[in-house]
Structure 1
Amino acid sequence: MKRIRKKARIPHLQKGLSLSPEAKDVSPSVKENVDYIKEQLFYSDDILERDIYFDNRQGKLIFLETVSDKYLVMESIIKPLERAKVGAVEHVITSSGLEVGEGLDKAISWIIAGKCLLFLEGIPEVYICETSLVVKRGVKEPDNEGIVRGAHDGFIENLVINLHMIRNRIENPNLVVRYFSLGKKSDTKVALLYMKNLAKEELIEEVARRLNLIPTDFILSPGFIGEYIEDDSYSPFPQLLYTERPDRTVAYLMEGRFAILSEGNPTSIIAPVTLFSFYQSPDDYHSRWMFGSLIRSIRFASFLIAFILPGLYISIVTFHPEVLPIELIYSVKSSIERVPYPSLIEAFFMELTLELIREAGIRLPTRVSQTIGIVGGLVIGDSVVQTGLVSLPMIIVVALTAISAFVVPSHEMSSTVRLLRFPLMIAASMFGFIGMTTGLFLIFTHLAKIETFGNPYFSPVMPFKLKGFKDTFIRFPLWHLNKSTKDSTPDQRNSEKAILGEGRE
C-alpha cells in the first residue's frame, strides 16, 4: 500500500496536470467529498455510488461505471469490507493496489483512470483502489507489416502488454522504461524505452527534454508526439520510424536507439533513424544473407522507379526522344499523338486518379475495396486508353510506379515518394533531363543536411562511412555484423537484431 501526500508528484510524470482547478484537502464529511467529485465531473450519468458500513462508520464508494470493472469493485472491495466489518482498511483490501491520499487535487484524474475512491465518515483520507476496466483485443500480426518468417505478434492498444512483449524479448536489466504524462487535458501515459548500456546519455536527455516541452492539450496518436519532437517539420522525409512490430522495436533498441510507446495505440516510434532504415524489413534477417540482400536491392530499385520514372518518361517524350531505339520511338509516338494535351497533364491525370482509387480502397469496407481496385485497374484503365485521354505507355509507367511504391516497407516513406514525384514531373516537363537533374540534386542536398537527434539522416553515404555499408544496400552475413557498440547510427550494428540470436564470433 502506498500513501500519497497532498501535491505529491509521481516520478517521471512531470507533465501531468491535474484536471481539478485547485488543490483541496479531503474533508471528514463523506457527503462533502462526494459532492465535490460529482461537481467536478459535472454530475455525469455514469457516476456510480455504493454505500459502505465499515468499522462502525458510514462510507461511500464512488467510481465511473464506464471505465471501472464493477465485478472487481464487488469482489476486491465491497465483499472484503462486508466480511471484515472492523479493522484497518489497508489490511482488509489487499488485492486491488490500495493507496491512501490526503488531498482531492488528483481525485478527478484517479477516477477518470478507472480507480474507485472510498471515503469513510470522520476520516480525512481517501482510499484509492485499482479497479480499471481493461478492454483489449488479441495479439496478432500487424496487417500493414506482414512477414514470411519470424514472429507473428504485434502491439495492441494496451501499454502494459506492449511493454511485456518487449521485456519478454530483452531479459536484461539494462532495459530502462521511463514514464511521461503528456497532454494537459488528455493526460496520456507515454513510455520511453532505451538500453542503458547502448544508448547515448545525451540522446536520452534530449528526447526527454522534447517530450517534457510538448505543449498540447491532447495526445491522440503517436503522430502528435512525432510532430513535436522531430528535428525538421518542414522536411517531406520522415525522421521517425513507426512500427507495430515488437521484434522490430527490440532490434532498434539493441542498436542504441530509443522507442516511444503510448497508452491506447499500437504504434511504436523509433529514433534516431536514417533514410535506409525505412527500406529494411525483418524478413531480410530471417533468410540467408544473399537472398536478403537481393530483396533489399529490389526495394531500393523500386524506390528509384517510383521516384523518377514518371519524370523520366515526360523528359524523354517531350525533349529527348533520341535516347529511345527507332522502333520504340515510332510505337510511343503513334500512341501519344492521339492524346490532345501535354504529357505532364496526362501524367497528373493518371497519378491523381490512382491516388483517388487508393484512398477509396482504404476508406471502404474490405470487400467493396477489392471491387474498387478491379474497377479502377481494368475498367478505367482500358476506357481512358480507348477514348484517347491517356496513352498506353503512360498507363504502363503509372502502373510500374504504383507497384514500386507499394514495395516500400514504410507507409511514411511511401507517402514521401508519392509526394515528391509531382515536383519532379513539373521540372521534367519544363527543362527535360536538366530539370530532373536539378531537382534530384536539390533533394539529395536536402537529405545530406537533415539530422535526427544529432545523427546524419543520409549516413553512411553522407558523411561517408565504409563499414556502414555492411547493412545498408545489401546485408552482410550476421557474423560480420555481430559487433555491439554504444552508437545510435546504423553503421555500427549490434549482434544482429536481437530477434535472431547470437552470430559467430
Structure 2
Amino acid sequence: MNVLNGKPAKKRKHKHAPRTEPKKPPQPLTESLDQNLSLIHGELVENVDVTFRYMTNEVRMAVILVEGIVDAGKIDRDLLQTLVKPGFGQRDNLSGLTGDALLTAAADAVPLGMVKTVNTVEAIFSGLFGGSAIVLIEGCSQALAVNVSGGEQRAVEETTTQTVIRGPKEGFNENLRTNLSLVRRRIKSPKLASKMLLMGEVTQTEVAMIYLDGIARQEIVDEVYKRLSQIETDAILDSGYIEEFIQDSSYSPFPTLINTERPDVVVGALLEGKVAVMVDGTPFVLIAPALFTRYFQSSEDYYQRADISSFLRIIRFVAFFLSMLLPALYISITTFHQEMLPTPLLISLAAQREGVPFPAFIEAILMELTFEVLREAGVRMPRAIGPAISIVGALVLGQAAVQAGLVSAAMVIVVSFTAISNFVVPYISMSISARLIRFAMMILGGSFGLFGIMSGMMLVLIHLESLRSFGVPYMTPFSPLRLSELKDVLIRAPQWAMIHRPSTSNPANTKRQSKGQQPLPPQQPEGGGQEGDGS
C-alpha cells in the first residue's frame, strides 16, 4: 500500500524462519482404485470417525466421509442411493464409459449442487475434513468431492457480548457458511466480494475476507489480503490468532482491529468501505481498519433517534476517561493537592482515613487488584454461581475492609464507580486498554501528582497519534481533521444529514445518499384554511 490520507504507510517486514519439514510434493491419484485407497490409508492415521463405504455398480467405487461433520440424510438419500442405481439412474449401462466420461456421468447424476473434481491426495483430505464426501471410481485418475456438510452445530442466537435493546438480535455462530449467509441476507448486491483462504498447516482452517467492491479502498483490500496470505503457522483456532498476526502495533495497549459477533455491525462497516475477516470455528469477526472513535459507537446508535444516540456517545467518552483517570486523580489530590478540595470534604476524607494504615496509593492498588481478581473469578466460575460470587464478594469484602480500617469508604466508592464506568464502553477490547492504562496513571499520580497525570496523558495522546490501522491514522477524523466526518463521532447527526462515507472508502464512491431528504412539515394551503373544509 503506497499512500493513505496523505502519509506514506509504514512498510511491514515479514521474516519467516525456514520450515523444519519441507512441504511434500502433491501425490496425484492413479486409475487404480486399490492404489488410490492405499495412498489414502498411508497418509491417514487410525481414525474412528472416518468411514469407508465400498460398492459395485458395474464398476467398483468407494465413498469416504467423516461422521459428525456431514449431513447423514444427504449421504443416504442423495449420494449413496444415486450411485447404486444401474447406470447411475440416467444411463442403460456404464460398461462403455471410462475415465473422465465415467466421472462426469457420476457427477451429473448426483442431485447435489456443490460437486467438484480433485486429483491429488492432499485435495482429497482438504475436501474430506471440510465436510465433503469423496467418491473414488475404478479407472478414474480423479475423484469427486461432494459437499454434504452438516452435523450438529449451534443455532443462530442472540449475541452474549454486545446486546442491544432495539435492533437485530441475530448473532454469528461457529459455522463460516452460516456467518457468510447472515451478511448476504443483508447485502443483496453482486458487489459483495469474498475471498477464501486456507490457514494452518495442521488445522486447515477456512478464513474468508469480505468487502464491497467499488466501496472499499483497493489499497486497504490488498494490504489485508497480503497480511493474511503471509501467515504461516500450524493452527488457527480463533480470529484472535489472526488479529495478532496482522495488527499494526503488537505492543500497543490500544486495539487496531475491531472484533464483533453482530452481523449488522459487520454490514455497517462494509458499507463504510471496511474489510471483514471471518474465521471458521468462531463467532467473532474482525473488521479493518479500526479507528479510535469507532470503539465508542454501538450498533444501537443508528436504531435510536439522533439526540438520544448523541447523548449516549458523550456518556461513553466521559466514562472511558473516568475509568482511566479517576483513581489516579483521587490519589494525587488527597496526597499532593488537598487545597483543591472544599474544607468540609477535606475534613470528611481525613476523618475516614484516620485509621487507615496505608497511603492512598497503596490503598488504591490493593482495591483495584482485588476488584480485578473478583472480576476474573466471576468470568471463570460456572455461569450459575459466577454473578453471585462477584456481587457478594464485592459487597462483603468492601464492607469488611472499611469496618476493619484497611481502606476508606471514599476509596471503595471511587473504585466501584471506576469499575462501573469501565463497563460502559461497547467493545471490551477498548475497556481492557483503559484498565491497563489506569494502573500506569495511578503510579504517576502517586509519584508526581497532577503533573504526573498530565504527563501520562500527553504520552497517551502522542502514542495515539502515532498509531495506524492498515495505513489509516488511528485518530481520524480528529487528526487529520476531517470536518465532514465529525457528524458521526462525538454526536450522531440524523440519517438524512450523513451524505458521505468516511475517508476509508473508495474516493470514487464516497456519496452514500442524496441531499435534501430532511423531512419538512406540510405547507398550509393559501388563505389559511384547510383543504376540504369549505372555506
Q: TM-score scaled by structure 2?
A: 0.85
- Kept after mapping to 2: 8 A contact 1:197/1:486: no
- Cα separation, 2, equivalents of 1:484 and 1:327: 53
Deviation, 1:20, is: 8.6
**Which residue of 242, 249, 266 corresponds with 1:225?**
242
> Deviations 1:263-300 (Å, cap 9, x if unpaired)?
11111111112111000012212121111111111111
Question: Residues 41 and 390 of structure 1: is their aligned pair in 2 closer, same or farther, counting only changes over 3 Å?
Answer: same
Alignment-derived partner of residue 247 in structure 1: 264
Deviation, 1:494, is: 6.7
Question: Residues 133 and 178 of structure 1: is their aligned pair in 2 closer, same or farther, counting only changes over 3 Å?
Answer: same
Deviation, 1:153, is: 0.9
Point out the more displaced range, 413-422 or 138-147.
Answer: 138-147
- Cα separation, 2, equivalents of 1:234 and 1:411: 18
Say yes or no: does 1:355 pair with 2:372.
yes
* Aligned residue runs from structure 1 range 425-436, under 5 A: 425-436=442-453
> Deviations 1:124-179 (Å, cap 9, x if unpaired)?
33222222234322212211111111111111111122111211111222221111
- Kept after mapping to 1: 8 A contact 2:485/2:502: no
Point out the more displaced range, 102-111 or 439-448.
Answer: 102-111
- Kept after mapping to 2: 8 A contact 1:181/1:188: yes
* Aligned residue runs from structure 1 range 18-417, under 5 A: 21-54=24-57, 56-85=58-87, 86-87=93-94, 88-95=105-112, 97-417=114-434
Deviation, 1:472, is: 0.9
Q: Aligned AA for 1:269?
A: L
Alignment partner of 2:121: what SS? coil
Point out the more displaced range, 191-200 or 27-36.
Answer: 27-36
- Kept after mapping to 2: 8 A contact 1:254/1:494: no
Deviation, 1:75, is: 1.6
Deviation, 1:486, is: 6.3
Deviation, 1:37, is: 1.2
- Cα separation, 1, equivalents of 2:151 and 2:518: 44
Alignment-derived partner of residue 466 in structure 1: 483
- Cα separation, 1, equivalents of 2:140 and 2:192: 42
Deviation, 1:64, is: 2.1
Identity %: 36
Q: TM-score scaled by structure 1?
A: 0.90
How big is the alpha-carbon RMSD for the aligned residues of Structure 1 and Structure 2? 2.3
- Cα separation, 2, equivalents of 1:299 and 1:374: 23
- Cα separation, 2, equivalents of 1:268 and 1:401: 29
Question: Residues 485 and 368 of structure 1: is their aligned pair in 2 closer, same or farther, counting only changes over 3 Å?
Answer: closer
- Kept after mapping to 2: 8 A contact 1:470/1:481: yes
Question: Residues 409 and 309 of structure 1: is their aligned pair in 2 closer, same or farther, counting only changes over 3 Å?
Answer: same
- Kept after mapping to 1: 8 A contact 2:70/2:148: yes
Larger Cα-atom Rg? 2
- Kept after mapping to 2: 8 A contact 1:177/1:192: yes
Q: Aligned AA for 1:38?
A: H
Alignment partner of 1:22: what SS? coil
Q: Runs of 5+ in structure 2 lacking a partner? A: 1-18, 88-92, 95-104, 520-535
- Cα separation, 2, equivalents of 1:68 and 1:21: 29
Question: Residues 71 and 481 of structure 1: is their aligned pair in 2 closer, same or farther, counting only changes over 3 Å?
Answer: same
Deviation, 1:503, is: 5.8
Point out the more displaced range, 197-206 or 315-324.
Answer: 197-206
- Cα separation, 2, equivalents of 1:480 and 1:466: 13
- Kept after mapping to 2: 8 A contact 1:198/1:485: no
